[in-house]
Structure 1
Amino acid sequence: MTFEITNKDAMGRIGKLKTPHGRVETPTLMPVINPNIDFIPAEKMKRFGAQILITNSYIIYRSGDLRDMAVEKGLHRLLETDLPVMTDSGSYQLMIYGDVEVKNAEVVKFQQMIGSDIIVPLDIPTPPDADYSRAIADLEITIEREREASRLIKESNSENLLAIPIQGSTYSELRKRSAEESKKIDGDVYPIGGVVPLLDDYRFSDVVRIILDVKSVIPSSYPIHLFGAGHPIFLSIAVALGCDLFDSAAYALYAKDDRYLTPYGTKKLNELHCLPCSCPVCSQYSAEELLKIEKEEREILVGEHNLWISFEEIRKIKQAIKENSLFEFVEKRIRSHPSLLSSWRQIKNYSTLLEEYDPSTKRQFFYTGIESIYRPAVSRHHERVKNVELEKDEYTISTSSENNSDFYLKPVFGVVPAEMNEVYPAGHAEMPPVEYIENEAVDVAVNALRSFLRKHHDKKFIIRADGVWREYLIELPDNAVVE
């Protein structure tokens, strides 16, 4: 098996991807290496935490000297690294310039020849909001090229892994169709392409929808690569939705403009009084000192910071997966920008899909805001309560856990049978008191209560309510009495 999953939380996972040059633990970031530009060399990437790199085979192919060296020495000796290397095929140049001077079969065979660990066919990254006719025409070409790449690799019996990009612009039906066709081709990695313009424009809601459309089709046993998503601001969301690999040229591109990456957004170096980071660069220099350094050296230092902070975010995400606290981690991160917040709230429309992935048992349910309502643990609890069988004619429901009762009423969860009041999720939930929690959290609970009462309309329920709860317990079915 090429990809082995070792830990799961939300739709995210920690996995091990087997490549010809060793195993890679995911989720992880692949720094982009441009062999034409002397910036931070590939050989130094390990110190930041890199386990795999990505470079552009089209750039190498188009440069006579680089091409000859790559063919003679191999890709890894060219880059002077023993890390696995994924190679893109020129799709980015196709998106920017509209044309490339290479055919799909040529660039696939070239990637094989130079020893790429993960090969990418020459897919067509249709831009967002393109005409439907263009999007479907581009997709047809992409699918045919992917089939061709698969045939070439199988015929050569090589060890290279094959990435099958999923395209389709901003059309859900085309993304799903692309994923269905990609699944038939049976690749090793499934990149989601064509999302960079959306990320650049902070159209995170569109990216979330695209990811979830793809995840609804591609089996969980395959790794997902989100092309061009290298900014730490979006990494936690993408991992929580099931993406495993990311590539980043942002660390270098942003550094050229003195743009300083943080998990909460991008800062201009000249706007920073203090550096909010303790990486080796930020521990050695102040913002003022960095600005006084010659531009070329400063670019490298800011680029190094950008790498440090990006890999630090990856490590924090992995730890959250290990602790089964990824939902809590994401819910904190999304508060750094309204577009992140609104994008994450879309998960309520994909509750069934999330339930398929999210572990049913955890140590704690830590409420961080109304987004916590959308977690699978909540919908699972509501479903379990629907299946509770009642034998007596009369029951008590209390809003206080200090009272002995048959059932308890809690924000978010609603009705909690006494036997569930000590187990996950409702029994292990940390939430603000009802008078301080958001109205939506109480409304969800009361709506669940109403459904419960209506289902058991032949039973009588005495609800012992105190404080603010009484204000919410209105318009209940006739079989309930509030005391």
Structure 2
Amino acid sequence: MPPRFDFSIAATDGRARTGTIAMRRGEIRTPAFMPVGTSATVKAMKPADVRATGADIILGNTYHLMLRPGAERVARLGGLHAFMGWDRPILTDSGGYQVMSLADLTKRSEEGVAFKSHLDGTRHMLSPERSIEIQRLLGSNITMAFDELVPTTSTREVQAAAMERSMRWARRSRDAFDAAEDHAEGNAIFGIQQGALDEGFRKASADALIDIGFDGYAVGGLAVGEGQEAMFGCLDFAPGQLPADKPRYLMGVGKPDDIVGAVERGIDMFDCVLPTRSGRTGQAFTRSGPINIRNAKFAEDTGPLDPACACNVCSTWSRAYLHHLVRAGEILGAMLMTEHNLAFYQALMADLRSAIAAGGLTAFANDFRAQYRRDKGE
């Protein structure tokens, strides 16, 4: 039988690593980008097409799925994999971020977070134990510990208190995961490092998580408005505080140049709604930066979205056709733009893996940054 969870590093280049996570549902090549399937779907994509872009794993969300259609219902219908038709690994977010950013009238306590649904106003309590239970019912392969997120602009007292509570919740999450023995035997759980931008808080969080023991470790609480420079400043020390022999996951990141910089700093896993959300709004990612296909200058452009891209969309359809579809509000426009963006992200991850394996990451990253202009926005 394949291993429950095994992370092997094949090559390093500076602080960057490339390797493989082996699980019973398949292997995950790292550095890895996980398309976001918040509500049991990667929006505008069929599961087979997500896989065809090169994705080894996708992400689902506890908060959204607990509210609709409900974790117990998903379990009765065979679990998330059968429900949505994805047979490879799934990582589930614990729901903490969404509770604190989307829900109405939240009340935090040591027990957890009481909140009103943003959908219908019904009242719920999400605790570490309930979060883990929901993720088990969904059939998650990589479960995330429940944590408390506060803005990086919060006072030091608030940051410290949230980090310390997150570590207490991490222990409860681990205990709840282990208590469900049948699920724990075949799946994994990651802890989440908190501490905003403070090196001391981050170290205390890392030490607490290591003491508990997890299969992998996430760097949480970033990409929430602090800017790339501040995020990279934190990543200059935070990943190194976590075990070198375990995967490191930067939650909610991000833009292509964010990913390249984070890989250089030792991150192995990423997720972000950006490629799918941007695809639905007419933004395409290219090696020279993002473009807005709605722009009038593309109305008669017969070239591909990205001349450097070999994806199905770039090989088949012109910028002019995609411009027409998006401007006309045709569903196919959102589908093709999303497919290209996901293929672009997966091609970037493949290039990063190859560059690390060849010992050429610095040259690749510098060349990428020289071409990529994130504010291009044509």
TM-score bin (small chain): 0.7 to 0.9
- Whether 2:300 is the aligned partner of 1:276: answer no
Residues 150-229 of structure 1: pairs in structure 2 closer than 5 A:
150-157=174-181, 158-159=184-185, 160-198=187-225, 203-229=227-253
Residues 1:288 and 2:312 aligned together:
no
CA radius of gyration, larger in: 1
Superposed CA deviations along residues 346-379 of structure 1, whole A, max 9, x for unmatched, are: xxxxxxxxxxxxxxxxxxxxxxxxxxxxxxxxxx
Where 2:191 maps in the other structure, the secondary structure is coil
2:31 corresponds to 1:27: yes
Quote how far apart the aligned CAs of 1:264 are.
4.4
Bigger shift: residues 226-235 or 323-332: 226-235
**Taking structure 1 as reference, are residues 104 and 161 closer, same or farther at Cα in structure 2, changes over 3 Å only?**
same
Under a length normalisation based on structure 2, what TM-score does the superposition of the two structures give? 0.83
Q: Aligned residues, how many?
A: 337
Corresponding residue SS for 2:87: coil
- Distance (whole Å) between structure 2 residues aligned to residue 156 and residue 66 of structure 1: 16
Asked if residue 125 in structure 1 is aligned to residue 149 in structure 2, the reply is yes
28-37 or 61-70, which deviates more: 61-70
Q: Which amino acid aligns with 2:63?
A: Y
Matched residues in 1 for 2:213 and 2:288: separation? 37
Aligned 8 A contact 1:48 1:311 in 2: yes
8 Å contact kept, 1:12–1:242: yes
Does the alignment pair 1:6 with 2:10?
yes
Report SS of the residue matched to 1:15: strand
Instruction: Tell me how far apart the structure 2 counterparts of residues 337 and 56 of structure 1 sit (CA, whole Å).
Output: 31
1:79 maps to 84
1:43–1:70 CA distance, 2 compared to 1 (3 A): farther
Secondary structure of residue in 2 paired with 1:216:
helix
For 1:4 and 1:36, how far apart are their aligned partners in 2? 29
Q: SS of the counterpart of 2:195?
A: coil
Whole-Å Cα distance in 2 between the matches of residues 34 and 49 of structure 1?
A: 19
Deviation at 1:143, TM superposition (A): 0.8
Matching residue of 2:343 = 308
Q: CA RMSD in A?
A: 2.2
Instruction: Give 1:23 shift.
Output: 2.2
Q: Which has the higher contact order (CA 8 A, sep 6+)?
A: 2
Per-residue deviation, 1:22: 2.4
CA shift, 1:187, in A, is: 0.7
1:90 counterpart = 2:95: yes
Corresponding residue of 1:47: 52
- Once residues 83 and 64 of structure 1 are traced to their aligned partners in structure 2, the CA distance between those partners, rounded to angstroms, is 21
Deviation at 1:43, TM superposition (A): 3.4
Structure 2 matches for 1:409-448, cutoff 5 A? none
Segments of 5+ residues of structure 2 without an aligned counterpart are 107-114, 116-123
| SS of equivalent residue, structure 2 residue 10 | strand
**CA–CA distance in 1 between the matches of 2:274 and 2:374?**
20
Question: Which consecutive unaligned segments of at least 5 residues does structure 1 have?
Answer: 341-483
Q: 2: CA distance between counterparts of 1:256 and 1:338? A: 21
Superposed displacement of residue 263, structure 1: 4.1
TM-score by length of 1: 0.65
Question: Aligned partner of 2:343: which letter?
Answer: W
In structure 2, distance between residues paired with 1:85 and 1:26: 15
- My pick for the range that moved more, 330-339 or 109-118, is 330-339
Counterparts of 2:190 and 2:357, CA distance in 1: 27
Distance 2:204 2:344 in 1: 36
Using the TM superposition, give the Cα deviation of residue 337 of structure 1 relative to its aligned residue in structure 2, in angstroms. Answer: 6.9
C-alpha distance in 1, partners of 2:157/2:373? Answer: 33
